[in-house]
Amino acid sequence: MKIKNICCIGAGYVGGPTMAVIALKCPNIKVTVVDANTEKIKAWNGPLVNLPVYEPGLADVVGKARGKNLFFSDDIKGAIEQAEMIFMAVNTPTKTSGEGAGMAADLTYIESCAKDIAKYAKSDKIVIEKSTLPVRTAEKIKDILEENSNGIKFEILSNPEFLAEGTAIKDLFKSDRVLIGGDMTSSGQLAVQALVDIYRNWIPKEKIITTNVWSSELSKLASNAMLAQRISSINSLSALCEKTGADIGELSKAIGMDHRIGPHFLNASVGFGGSCFKKDILNLVYLCKFYGLIEVAEYWHQVVKINDYQKNRFAQKIIEYCGGRLKGKKITVLGWAFKANTNDSRESPAINVTEMLYNAGADIEIYDPMVEKKTIYSDIKLYWRSKKASENITILDEVKPEDLKNDITVIITEWDEFKGLDYSKTKLFDGRYIISNEMIG
C-alpha cells in the first residue's frame, strides 16, 4: 500500500517536529497536522522565529516543507477524511482524578481523538499511536473506533516516539531505532509495511524494528524508565559524595568508562524533568500493581522518589546555607525549561525548587531564554501550592552580568548563555549536572 496522504492529530512537541521531518524526507506525501487549539495552528503557520515549539533546526525544516507538502490546519474533519494514515500525537498527562489518579495516564484526549477519527472517516485507515500510552491502549482505541463508525476497517499500529526535546530534529534525522508494533494478521502486517516504507526514505533498514503491538507499547515505557533510573542512580550517589568528600563528576566519569555501563546519561543533576519520564514510570508502576507485581512496582517507583528527594535536597541546601531562612534574601533563578534548548517547562525541576525557595521567604527573579513569561506565570499558578504567589516574583526579559548582584544565583537549566556570566558578586548554586560538595564551598 502506497501512502500519499498523512494526517497527524496534535501539533505539539511530538507531532510538530515529527511531521515536519516526515514531510521533508517524503516530498511525495502530503502531511497535514491538525490541532484543536487554533492559536497553536496559527503560530505554526506564522513567522518561523515564533513557532510554538522551540527546537534547534526545526524552523529550518518547517521553512523548507511548509506550504509544499506540509500543512498546519484546524480542519480536523477534512484532514481525517483525506488521509490514509493518521498519527495520534495528543497529550497523555497523568490522571488527576478517578481510578488510578496520580499514576495512570489520562486517556481523555486519546479517546476524543479516536472518536473524531471514527466520526469523520469514510474509508479504511491506518491509525498510529505516537504518544506514549499505557500497554494495551491500542485495544481500547480499536474498540472506540469500531463502536463509533460503520463498517470501516482500522489497523492500529504503535510507533512510539523516542526523540528527546532539545535534540528532536537530530534524533529524527538519525534515529537509534524506529519501532513499529502491529497485529500479526495479514492486514496488520500490510499496515506495518506501509509505515516501514515511509521511514525507509531516510532510516536504514536495520534500524527499523517491527514487533507486536504490546511489545512496542511496553518498550517505550521501559526505555524511559531505564533512562530515568540511570539519572536517579547517579543522583542518589551525589548525596553520598557530598557526605564523603568524593566528587560526583569524577565518579560519573570513572563509572561511565566501563563500556558495559557507558558514559551517556550519567550526569548528576537537580533532578530529571520533562513530560515523559515521571509520567511513564508512574504508568509502569500502575501497570505492575494492576498485575499484582508489588515488588516490581516498588522498584520502579523508587526512581521517582529519588527524583523528588534530589529536588528537595537541592533547595534545602540553599536554605541551610542561609541559616534556615531566606527572608530578605534575593535569589536569581536562571533557567525554567526542563533542559536546555527547549521552550518546554513541563515537570521542570525549576518549578519545585523555586517554590521551596519562595516558601522559605526569598524574593525571586526568574529568567529563561526561551520559556515565555506567560508560561512561567501559569506554571506557578498551576503547580505551586502557595496560591498567593506572584508577590515578590519578577520575571526578567534578559540577564546581564550586572544583574547578578543578588545574594544568590541558582542555575537550574544548562543553557549555554549561562556559562559565560560573571557570578563573582553572588553565591552560585549550580543544580544542573554539577552537584558536589564543592557547590556550597
Which residues are the active-site residues? 276
The binder of 11, among ligand ADP, ligand UDX, none, by C-beta within 5 to 8 A per type, is ligand ADP
Instruction: Tell which positions 297-356 bind ligand UDX, by CB under 6 A.
Output: 338-339
- Choose the stretch contacting ligand UDX; rule: CB under 6 A; options: 237-245, 268-276, 391-399, 421-429: 268-276
- Measured CA to CA, the distance from residue 389 to residue 393 in angstroms comes to 8
Least distance (Å) from ligand UDX to the CB of residue 270? Answer: 8
C-beta nearest to ligand ADP: residue: 12
282 binds ligand UDX per the rule CB under 6 A: no
Least distance (Å) from ligand UDX to the CB of residue 103? Answer: 18
The binder of 134, among ligand UDX, ligand ADP, none, by C-beta within 5 to 8 A per type, is none
What separation in angstroms does the CA of 228 have from each of 76, 187, 436?
A: 35, 36, 20
C-alpha cell at 19: 511531521
Tell me the pairing of strands 427-430 and 408-411: parallel
Number of residues that bind ligand UDX (CB under 6 A): 19
Least distance (Å) from ligand ADP to the CB of residue 22? Answer: 15
The binder of 389, among ligand ADP, ligand UDX, none, by C-beta within 5 to 8 A per type, is none
Angle at which helices 15-25 and 58-65 cross, to 10°: 50
Of 55, 161, 242, 430, the one binding ligand UDX by CB under 6 A: 161
Which residue type is seen at 32? Answer: T
Which residue type is seen at 436? Answer: S
Least distance (Å) from ligand UDX to the CB of residue 228? Answer: 7
- Choose the stretch contacting ligand UDX; rule: CB under 6 A; options: 163-171, 183-191, 391-399, 421-429: 163-171
- Phi and psi, residue 38, nearest 5°: -70, -30
Distance spanning both ends of the chain, measured CA to CA: 64
3-state percent helix, strand, coil for the chain, nearest multiple of 5 = 45, 15, 40
**Per-residue burial over 329-339, b = 16 or more CB atoms within 10 Å of its CB, e = otherwise:** bbbbbbbbbbb
Residue count of the chain, please give it. 441
272 binds ligand UDX per the rule CB under 6 A: yes
The binder of 40, among ligand ADP, ligand UDX, none, by C-beta within 5 to 8 A per type, is ligand ADP
Least distance (Å) from ligand ADP to the CB of residue 10? Answer: 3
Residues 6 or more apart whose CB falls under 8 angstroms from that of 241 comprise: 247, 248, 251, 436, 437
Between residues 131 and 252, which has the closer beta carbon with respect to ligand ADP?
Answer: 131
Between residues 61 and 435, which has the closer beta carbon with respect to ligand UDX?
Answer: 435
C-alpha cell at 285: 508502576
The residue ranges that bind ligand ADP (CB under 6 A) are 9-15, 35-37, 40, 89-91, 109, 112-113, 131, 275
Of 126, 163, 194, 356, the one binding ligand UDX by CB under 6 A: 163
125 binds ligand UDX per the rule CB under 6 A: no
Least distance (Å) from ligand ADP to the CB of residue 223? Answer: 16
- Measured CA to CA, the distance from residue 40 to residue 291 in angstroms comes to 39
Least distance (Å) from ligand ADP to the CB of residue 345? Answer: 12
Between residues 29 and 110, which has the closer beta carbon with respect to ligand ADP?
Answer: 110
Angle at alpha carbon of residue 166, lines to 165 and 172, rounded to 5°: 70
- Measured CA to CA, the distance from residue 376 to residue 371 in angstroms comes to 7
Least distance (Å) from ligand UDX to the CB of residue 164? Answer: 4
DSSP-assigned states of every residue in 274-342 = SSSHHHHHHHHHHHHHHTT-HHHHHHHHHHHHHHHHHHHHHHHHHHHHTTT--TT-EEEEE--SSSTT-
Instruction: Tell which positions 171-230 bind ligand UDX, by CB under 6 A.
Output: 224, 227
Between residues 204 and 262, which has the closer beta carbon with respect to ligand UDX?
Answer: 262
The binder of 339, among ligand UDX, ligand ADP, none, by C-beta within 5 to 8 A per type, is ligand UDX
Angle at which helices 294-321 and 349-359 cross, to 10°: 50
* Residue 313 half-sphere exposure toward CB, CA atoms < 13 A: 24
274 binds ligand UDX per the rule CB under 6 A: yes
User: Is the separation of the CB atoms in 347 and 308 below 8 Å?
Assistant: no
C-alpha cell at 72: 498546519
User: Is the separation of the CB atoms in 229 and 54 below 8 Å?
Assistant: no
- Choose the stretch contacting ligand UDX; rule: CB under 6 A; options: 1-9, 65-73, 159-167, 313-321: 159-167
Residues that bind ligand UDX (CB under 6 A): 161-165, 224, 227, 231, 265-267, 269, 272-274, 276-277, 338-339
